[in-house]
Amino acid sequence: MALDKSAAAHSADNGPSAPAALRNLKVLDIATFVAAPFCGTILADFGAEVIKIEQPKTGDALRQFGTVTECGDSLVWLSESRNKKTVTLDLRKPEGADVFRKLVAQSDIVLENFRPGTLERWGLGFEALREINPGLIMLRISAYGQTGPKREEPGFARIAHAFAGLSYLAGESDGPPVVPGSTSMADYISGMWGAIGVLTALRARDQSGRGQFIDIGLYESVFRLLDEIAPAFAKYGSVRGRMGADTVNVVPHSHYRTRTGEWVALACTNDKMFERLTVVMGRPELYEEFRTSVIRVANRDRVNALVADWMASCTLEEVIDKTREGGVPCAQIYSIREIFEDPQYAARGNLLKVDDPRAGPLTVPAAVPRMSETPATFRHAGRALGADNAEIYAKYLNLTEEDLRVLTDLGVI
């Protein structure tokens, strides 16, 4: 893969002097779509050997989700299945389950997101696999988790946003609830929580020698991030409603339009920030009138109107320059076009340019977080279906070409 210079500093392999942090981990990714697989992507970025196991012939539905490229796989697949090796295996067939058990015996982690009880019906539940490999760590992500009255119900990120209370907060006060940004946000957040769980379980295994399973419901990943809405309701009975771009307990903390038509985000999170803003606006007397956050919240409409009027009198360049000089957090609200043009993204190598042998030139988000000693690496984009069958099955199970032919004829791989 060819890396551009800006990305290379962030994501190129630094060679033997900087071995990958997770290079000794072997991960079996039998999940679909984004949530649990994104945990695998994070682990793979930092050197784990992640083996993506898919249904023969059809593969993961993520391959056809989103914009499908000339190679037959989607941009989402090419980006989010990067650095993973791909094999095919039908876990529902006895022969496939047996092959999987043999791989589990040599692995550290299994990632899955089937409906609770599915793997158990196939004889591949955590307790059964733990007998084969006592140190096994299994990440289990489902719509509602492994327990509770809704455990067997299906769900996707949109359902998680609704059930977690996030969709209720998204939109204008007099309008319907809307999509809170990305429709896949709960999936990505769950994958991140999953990575935290896996790394925590690995640390525990270092001490006890025993593995464990991590149980995450998609909705839980979102609900955990909703600041004070739970304690506020429990203590005071308050139910936060939709507030558009505003924030419940801070003003001015919203979106405003400039004279030239662009939108900017402004964040005055404390009294000091508001004082700075009044100086930037050329209206320092406003600080005396609205000195505390409590006063500003009580006068939300007036404060917002004053800021909006000032923004509307300035060009985007004037707003950005003045707030920067005044130490007030402010940024233009970007579309992806502005992101690709911004020098900060370029300087940080956030947009990783690669040349894929199947799809051609690609630009994908670079890995996060940035590590000083063991940085992430980009080795390849999402692979073709079954691209690594011969390598993986020969390497770990000593299967010959004839063995693979037999399994292929049986529909196992």
**What is the distance between the alpha carbons of residues 330 and 333, in angstroms, rounded to a whole number?**
9
**What is the distance between the alpha carbons of residues 254 and 207, in angstroms, rounded to a whole number?**
47
Q: Write the DSSP symbol of residue 264.
A: E
Contact between residue 376 and residue 367 where contact means Cβ atoms under 8 Å apart? yes
Q: Which of 45, 60, 90, 187 is catalytic?
A: 187
Q: Pairing state of beta strands 253-257 and 263-267? A: antiparallel
- Token pair, residue 110, equals 């299994």
* Cis amide leading into 19 (omega within 30): no
**What is the distance between the alpha carbons of residues 100 and 28, in angstroms, rounded to a whole number?**
9
Q: Where are the alpha helices (DSSP H) in 150-184?
A: 157-164, 166-169
Whether 206 is catalytic is no
Q: Where are the alpha helices (DSSP H) in 209-292?
A: 218-223, 229-236, 271-280, 285-289
Q: Is 237 left (phi over 0), alpha (psi -120 to 50) or beta?
A: left
CA distance readout (Å), 8 to 3, 348, 350: 6, 10, 10
**What is the distance between the alpha carbons of residues 77 and 74, in angstroms, rounded to a whole number?**
5
**Contacting residues for 228 by C-beta, under 8 A, at least 6 apart:** none
Active-site positions read 187
